[in-house]
Structures are given as C-alpha cells and as structure tokens.
C-alpha cells in the first residue's frame, strides 16, 4: 500500500534523512509522517510588534520592511544580514546558508511577514533563518495557521526544522491525496458526525480555522481509543467464544472446611457477591480474566484465597504474584496460617531465596507436591514449571505490565483463570483504558466494625503536640508508624532525613520505656524481616520506615500513622499508607505532617485526604490533580499506550469509544458486515502484534 512506503522514498527525504527520521522521531513510513502531528499552530495574522514581542516565543510573527542587506565576513565564515523595521523598532535578520539565493530573492524596502525564533546575541536580538512571505500576498497563496512540529538538533542540522517537516508533509499529502483509507465504519462516522480520516489528517496539517483542528483531533483521538477498545473487547470475545477454560465444577472439601471451620467471621455482602461472580466464570468453560477492585482492607486477599481453594478442590495448583518481597512474605505467612491443618502445601518463591532452596521449590512444584505458590517476579522466570496450574492471582497489578501478566499463563497448557487485584481503586476511565480486557468485580463494602480513620493535618510547628499524642496512644497499648518519603533521585538525602527522624524519635521515646523499629529499602532482607517481626509481635511500639510498608502490611494493633513530609507523596500513596491503620477495633488516626507553606496541589492533596476516606473518590481526585503528564510513567513503561488522547480531559471520548465497540460487537459478533470490514482488516493486521490477545 502507498502509505506503507518507506519514508526515504518520499521526494526530498532520501536515505540519510530517512535514517534520521526513523531514529529521531520513529517515522518509518509515509503513514508515520502523516501521523506526526504538529504540537501547536502559529496564527500568521497575530502579528507582534518588534518592541513588544516575546523573546521566549519559539515562533514570533512580525511584519515589517526589509533594508540594509549586507554580506559580512569574519574569518572564513560569511553571513548575510538585513534590517527588519516596523513602526516600533528594528532587529536583525541573519542567514548563514544559501546566501546568494536569499540575496537574489529578497526585495529591499518591501513589506514582509517574517517568522522565526528570536535569538539574543550580545546586546542585540536577531532572527536567524526566518520564514518570510511578502505581506501583500497574504491570504492568497499563504496559510493563516502554520503548524509547528517538534524536531531535534540532528534533524535541524539536515534542514528538518519545523518548516522542513511541514514541507515534507505538504508534499506527501499532495502525493497520497485520495489514498488515505478510512479505518472506521461508516456508521460510526455517522453516529458521532466525525470527519473522514483523510480530511482529519489534512486539516491537522493544513488547518483553515481553529474549530476544524479541534474536530479533526477529536476524530483521531476517537480512532485511537476505539481501536484500543476493539483490541480489548475482541480478545474478550474470543475468550468467551472458545471453550478452552478449565471447568471448576465442584466446591469441595478444602473450600468447605476452610469456610466452616477456619473462617472466624462472616464474609461481607460484597465479598459474597464477588466470590459468586468468580465462581460463575470458573464454571463457564471459558478462561476467566477478572479485575478485582476494592479499597485497602476491604478483604480482597481473602476472596483470592477462597478462589484458590476452589482451584485446589478441582485438582489444580494456584499461585499468587506480589510486587515486593515483603508483600510476598506476608501473604505467604498469612495464607499458611489461615489454611493450617487443611493439609495444603503453601510455598514461597522470591529472588532472595538461596539457590538450593529455589531449586527444591521448583522441583516440588513440577512434581505437583506444592498446592499454592506465592512469590514475586521470580514466579515468571522460565524455569518455573507447574504440574497443573489452574488459577493465578496477581496482587497490586498496576506494577506489572500486560506482558508480565501474559508470561504467567504460558505456564500451563490450558490457560489458567486469572484474577488481578489492584492495591487501591482506580478511576473508571483509567480502568477502561488499562484493563479494558478484563471483566471487573468491585468490593464496595468494608468489613463491619471498622471505625473510619480520623485524619489530621499538622505542620512542623505542632510536632511536640504530635509526640504527646503518640505517647498517649502508646500508653493505651497501641502502636505507631512514622513514615518518611523515599524518592529515588534523592535517595541518599532522603535516607539522611529518615535517619535524622529516627534519632529524634529515639530521643523523644527513649529505652527502656519505648522500643523503636526501623525499616528501609537499603537494609538486608533478614534485618528487615527481624525488625518487621518485632513490630508485628508488639515488642516495639514505633515503626520508623520508608514507604516499604506502603502496601499490604497488616498489624491490626497499629492505630496511628504519622506521615512525614506528606506533601511529597501522591494521593494514592497517602491513601495506601493510611490504609495500614484502621484494621482493628480501635479508633485509628492518620497525621499528615507538612511544612507551613504548601504548593496549591500539595494543599489540595492534603485537603482531599482530610475530607474523605473513600478510595474511589481519592482515585478520581488523584487522576485530576496529577493530570495526564504524570501518567507518563505508565506510558513509558508501555502499560498505557496512548499517543493522542488523554484520559483525564478526553473522558467522554473514552466512554464513547467503549460504548461504540460494545454496540458493534453486540450487533455483529463476528464483524461480518460490510460496514465492519475495516475492523476485520485491522484485527487481521494486528493479531500478530498482540500474542496475548487470544488469552488475556
């Protein structure tokens, strides 16, 4: 197809520029260049005066008369200069290349529209290599809105600054005119009144007015989100129409004995509902892929255990993957304790296990002697072989990508059922874009008897009061966390903060009346475990730590969480940390310590925390506050792959795209209609790129 032509064959590109475009901008084909969009536009009619122009503007538009053309030589270098004057002042235009051509074509004492990036050189301002047009031709042959493309130094050195790229694009558009195929079904274009792909692309590179740009961009964003949803929903559709899931027909001895003999409390209504949803999947004959959302402490882990027991009852093994060793250890300890006496073998596999121990676990696993394996990333290593893996739980999923997830299901001939649990709730739009391939279950109810945590904001001035409060709580038999931020770039500085903090706590809370634990990421695993255990057993009253305790740690007697430099944490992290308390019957407290002065967003975060304990509300606020920029981490890690749309501002488009795909698949499950031909084409082209799509 014409659009698949390698970029070097475009007139004006060639092998050298072609290579550069590939390496610098990822532009390999004609299609890639068409989809390389301007990041902004300059309105040619918005002319600045020379006196008032913004020196920092990357592209100013001026209107003035050109005079004093001069060739200046200094050493070997020659340059051409001219004076541009308007009613308010003048500045220098300068060229270093193509002097003869410029000199011959410029008309002195004539009015021009002049555009470019101002450059300060010594005490005067110049415009190097400006873009120029005769002023009286305005509106006839020229464009009012000029696209500005981002470029790189290497590309600029080969003439591909924004104007160079614009020229290539213009040339390409002329060449492919009438050959940009439509990718969306006609009915979809009609339903939302969207422009065709060809016209949207043309408008984005050649806009006539700003409204057109908005409409064209919406069309392209819709397209992006639509195909993301199609990937997800088609994968789901295939999963549900193929009968390759294990059928867990029975609820057996293990489940029943655990439920009736071991479980000390009633399940919440929400837990019961979710277990039922999962049960239905496991019986359906189709492979389950389900996201389990629920607030911190809502009892997700327990639900996961119940489902693992069903897998065991049906003759399968189960495994659980956690993002950190601390968490894996803890799950292992908790689950071992909970199923004690049922004759189940629960083992642990993490990176820090001794080689001999690892080998033994792997042997026993392959021999089917292990029923439940709990671990970290170590679980997805190649040489970990199950004898009969039927159920996979992935805890705190947002740290794992789709690829890592998919590695787990290659560990079984028949793909296992998969349950993904998030640490905290995520907003709906994010869930739809990140986990659109999963069915979703929500636990929206906390176990009974939990008192809402009281959250208090305190500044450094109130530290003595906070210490007094801690003393009072400890006197009542409670335990206290004191958490410091640890952010990677400034790790050593933060570590010093932590150690200083620890020293001052030890001074305020001296032995033998008080015992203080400390845990941070630079400690040996054994030392960490030792300190953690002392705190869990209640031998120490205060745990000073970094965010290593962020997820999952469960000490019901701890009722006070003091977060130092709370303004440096993100909302979801604060919520996670707060979730470490409030697990027992006592009233719990979270104290957010900050400096006196806060940034706006810092103040907003603290206020949100003080105002609500609802994880779903916090997740929404978090997404709004952080904005799409901060989702870049997700984007770079390949977890969130959106080029144009952003899920905060484009929420309505996310919803529309999802609904549209749903409607299409409902009406035409095999996409057989003519109208849906473009979708069949897309899927046939894309299936190879998505090895996980058949199973995930």
Q: Identify each DSSP E strand in 403-487 by its residue range.
A: 417-421, 439-443, 454-459, 479-483
Instruction: Closer to ligand ADP by CB, 296 or 647: give it.
Output: 296
* Residue 519 makes contact with ligand ADP by CB under 6 A: no
* Whole-angstrom distance, CA of residue 435 vs CA of residue 84: 57
Contact 376, 322 (CB under 8 A): yes
Partner from Mg ion, ligand ADP, none binding residue 64, C-beta < 5-8 Å depending on class: none
Residues in the interface with ligand ADP (CB under 6 A) total: 15
- The reply to whether omega before 606 is within 30° of 0 (cis) is no
Nearest approach, Cβ of 669 to ligand ADP (angstroms)? Answer: 36
Selection from ligand ADP, Mg ion, none that 565 binds (CB < 5 to 8 A by kind) is none
CB of 154 to ligand ADP, least distance (A): 49
Reference 273, options 257, 286, 292, 248; nearest CA is 292
Question: Closest CB to ligand ADP among 197 and 575?
Answer: 575
Q: Which does 268 bind (CB under 5 to 8 A by kind): Mg ion, ligand ADP, none?
A: ligand ADP
Q: Which is nearer to Mg ion, 576 or 693 (CB)?
A: 576
Q: Which is nearer to Mg ion, 301 or 479 (CB)?
A: 301
Regarding 294 and contact with ligand ADP (CB under 6 A), the answer is: yes
> Is 297 an interacting residue with respect to ligand ADP (CB under 6 A)?
yes
60-74 and 111-116 as β-strands: parallel, antiparallel, unpaired? antiparallel
The partner in contact with residue 312, picked from Mg ion, ligand ADP, none with C-beta cut-offs of 5 to 8 angstroms by kind, is none
Query: Which range of residues in 78-86, 174-182, 261-269, 523-531 is near ligand ADP by CB under 6 A?
Result: 261-269
Helices (H), 206-268: 210-241, 253-257
Closest by alpha carbon to 413, among 388, 448, 396? 388
CA nearest 180: which of 2, 372, 439, 431? 2
Q: Please pick, from the candidates 9, 96, 121, 265, the single residue that binds ligand ADP as defined by CB under 6 A.
A: 265
- Measuring CA to CA, which residue among 354, 233, 306 is closest to residue 669? 233
Plot region of 360 (φ>0 → left; ψ -120 to 50 → alpha; else → beta)? alpha
Say how far apart CA 169 and CA 220 lie, in whole Å. Answer: 17
When the beta carbons of 550 and 564 are compared against Mg ion, the nearer one is: 550
- The option from Mg ion, ligand ADP, none interacting with 130 (CB < 5 to 8 A, set by class) reads none
- Contacts of Mg ion in 470-489 (CB under 5 A): none
Phi, psi of 385 (to 5 degrees): -120, 125
For residue 132, count other CB atoms closer than 10 A to its CB. 20
615 binds ligand ADP (CB under 6 A): no
What are the φ/ψ torsions at residue 663 (nearest 5 degrees)?
A: -60, -45
- 139 C-beta neighbours (distance < 10 Å), count: 10
Name the residue nearer to ligand ADP (CB basis): 299 or 416.
Answer: 299
Task: Give the integer Cα–Cα distance in Å for 601 and 626.
Answer: 9
- Quickly count: other Cβ atoms within 10 Å of residue 498's Cβ: 23
Binding of ligand ADP at residue 296 (CB under 6 A)?
A: yes
Task: Answer with the entry of Mg ion, ligand ADP, none that 368 interacts with (C-beta below 5 to 8 A by kind).
Answer: none
Position among 554, 604, 651, 668 found at the interface with ligand ADP (CB under 6 A)? 554
Q: What's 4's DSSP letter?
A: G
Positions 264 through 303 that interact with Mg ion (CB under 5 A): 301
- 679 DSSP 8-state letter: H
Q: Which of 246, 583, 605, 658 binds ligand ADP (CB under 6 A)?
A: 583
Distance of CA 529 to the CA centre of its chain: 31
Measured CA distances, 669 to 76, 232, 662 (Å): 72, 14, 10
Least gap, CB of 582 to ligand ADP (angstroms): 10
Rule CB under 6 A: is residue 302 a binding residue for ligand ADP?
yes
Q: Which is nearer to Mg ion, 21 or 320 (CB)?
A: 320
CB closest to ligand ADP, residue no: 299
* Maximal C-alpha separation, the chain: 97
Site stretch for ligand ADP (CB under 6 A), options 206-214, 216-224, 262-270, 685-693: 262-270
Q: How far is the CB of 609 from ligand ADP (least distance, A)?
A: 18
Q: Tell me the window of 160-168, 225-233, 296-304, 568-576 that interacts with ligand ADP (CB under 6 A).
A: 296-304
Binding to Mg ion, residues 548-567 (CB under 5 A)? 552
CB of 642 to Mg ion, least distance (A): 29
Residue number, 332 or 583, with CB nearest to ligand ADP: 583
> How many chain residues bind Mg ion (CB under 5 A)?
2
According to CB under 6 A, which one of 218, 287, 301, 546 is a site residue for ligand ADP?
Answer: 301
Q: Within 96-196, where are the H helices?
A: 99-105, 153-157, 162-176, 186-192
Q: How far is the CB of 334 from Mg ion (least distance, A)?
A: 10
Q: In this structure, are residues 326 and 548 in contact, taking their beta carbons and an 8 Å threshold?
A: yes
By beta-carbon proximity to ligand ADP, the closer residue of 320 and 645 is 320
Distance CA(499)–CA(258), nearest Å, equals 44
Residues numbered 401-460 forming contacts with ligand ADP, rule: CB under 6 A: 447
* Residue 331 near residue 395, CB atoms below 8 Å: yes
List interacting residues with ligand ADP (CB under 6 A). Answer: 265, 267-268, 271, 294, 296-302, 447, 554, 583
List interacting residues with Mg ion (CB under 5 A). Answer: 301, 552
């Amino acid at each position: 197809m014409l659009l698949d032509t390698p970029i070097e064959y475009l007139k004006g590109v060639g092998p050298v520029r072609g290579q550069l475009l590939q390496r610098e901008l990822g532009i390999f084909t004609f299609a890639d260049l068409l989809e390389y969009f301007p990041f902004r536009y300059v309105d040619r009619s918005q002319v600045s005066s020379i006196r008032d122009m913004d020196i920092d503007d990357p592209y100013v538009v001026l209107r003035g008369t050109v005079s004093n053309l001069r060739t200046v030589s200094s050493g070997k270098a020659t340059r051409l200069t001219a004076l541009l004057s308007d009613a308010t002042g003048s500045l220098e235009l300068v060229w270093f290349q193509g002097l003869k051509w410029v000199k011959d074509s410029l008309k002195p004492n004539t009015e021009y529209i002049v555009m470019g990036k101002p450059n300060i050189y010594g005490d005067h301002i110049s415009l190097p290599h400006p873009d120029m047009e005769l002023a009286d031709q305005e509106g006839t042959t020229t464009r009012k809105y000029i696209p500005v493309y981002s470029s790189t130094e290497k590309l600029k050195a080969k003439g591909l600054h924004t104007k160079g790229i614009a020229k290539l694009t213009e040339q390409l558009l002329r060449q492919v005119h009438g050959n940009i195929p439509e990718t969306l079904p006609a009915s979809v274009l009609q339903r939302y009144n969207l422009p065709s792909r060809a016209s949207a692309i043309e408008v984005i590179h050649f806009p006539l007015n700003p409204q057109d740009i908005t409409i064209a961009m919406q069309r392209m964003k819709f397209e992006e989100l639509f195909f993301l949803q199609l990937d997800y929903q088609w994968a789901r559709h295939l999963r549900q129409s193929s009968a390759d899931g294990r059928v867990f027909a029975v609820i057996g001895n293990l489940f029943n004995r655990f439920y009736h003999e071991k479980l000390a409390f009633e399940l919440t209504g929400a837990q019961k509902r979710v277990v039922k949803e999962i049960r239905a999947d496991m019986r359906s004959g189709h492979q389950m892929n389900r996201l389990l959302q629920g607030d911190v402490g809502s009892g997700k882990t327990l639900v996961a255990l119940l489902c693992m027991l069903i897998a065991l009852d049906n003759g399968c093994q189960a495994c659980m993957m956690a993002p950190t060793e601390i968490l894996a250890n803890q799950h292992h300890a908790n689950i071992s304790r909970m199923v004690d006496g049922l004759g189940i073998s629960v083992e642990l596999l993490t990176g820090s296990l001794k080689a001999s121990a690892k080998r033994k676990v792997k042997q026993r696993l392959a021999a089917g002697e292990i029923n439940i394996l709990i671990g970290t990333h170590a679980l997805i290593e190649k040489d970990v072989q199950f004898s009969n893996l039927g159920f996979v739980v992935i805890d705190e999923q947002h740290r794992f990508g789709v690829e890592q997830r998919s590695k787990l299901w290659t560990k079984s001939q028949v793909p296992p059922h998969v349950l993904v649990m998030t640490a905290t709730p995520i907003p709906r739009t994010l869930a739809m874009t990140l986990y659109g391939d999963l069915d979703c279950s929500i636990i929206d109810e906390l176990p009974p008897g939990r008192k809402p945590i009281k959250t208090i904001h305190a500044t450094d001035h109130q530290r003595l009061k906070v210490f007094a409060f801690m003393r009072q709580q400890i006197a009542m038999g409670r335990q206290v966390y004191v958490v410091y931020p640890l952010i990677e770039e400034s790790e050593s500085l933060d570590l010093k903060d932590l150690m200083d903090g620890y020293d001052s706590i030890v001074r305020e809370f001296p032995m033998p009346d008080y015992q203080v634990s400390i845990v941070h990421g630079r400690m040996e695993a054994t030392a960490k475990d030792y300190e953690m255990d002392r705190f869990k057993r209640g031998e120490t009253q205060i745990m000073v730590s970094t965010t290593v305790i962020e997820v999952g740690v469960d000490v019901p007697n701890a009722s006070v969480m003091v977060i130092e430099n709370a303004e440096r944490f993100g909302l979801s992290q604060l919520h996670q940390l707060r979730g470490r308390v409030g697990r027992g019957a006592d009233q719990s407290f979270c104290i957010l310590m900050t400096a006196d002065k806060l940034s706006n967003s810092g103040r907003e975060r603290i206020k949100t925390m003080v105002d609500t304990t609802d994880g779903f509300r916090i997740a929404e606020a978090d997404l709004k506050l952080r904005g799409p920029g901060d989702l870049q981490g997700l984007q770079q890690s390949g977890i969130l792959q959106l080029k144009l749309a952003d899920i905060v501002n484009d929420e309505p488009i996310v919803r529309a795209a999802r609904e549209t795909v749903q409607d299409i698949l409902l009406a035409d499950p095999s996409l057989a209609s003519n109208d849906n031909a473009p979708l069949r084409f897309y899927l046939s082209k894309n299936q190879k790129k998505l090895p996980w799509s058949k199973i995930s």
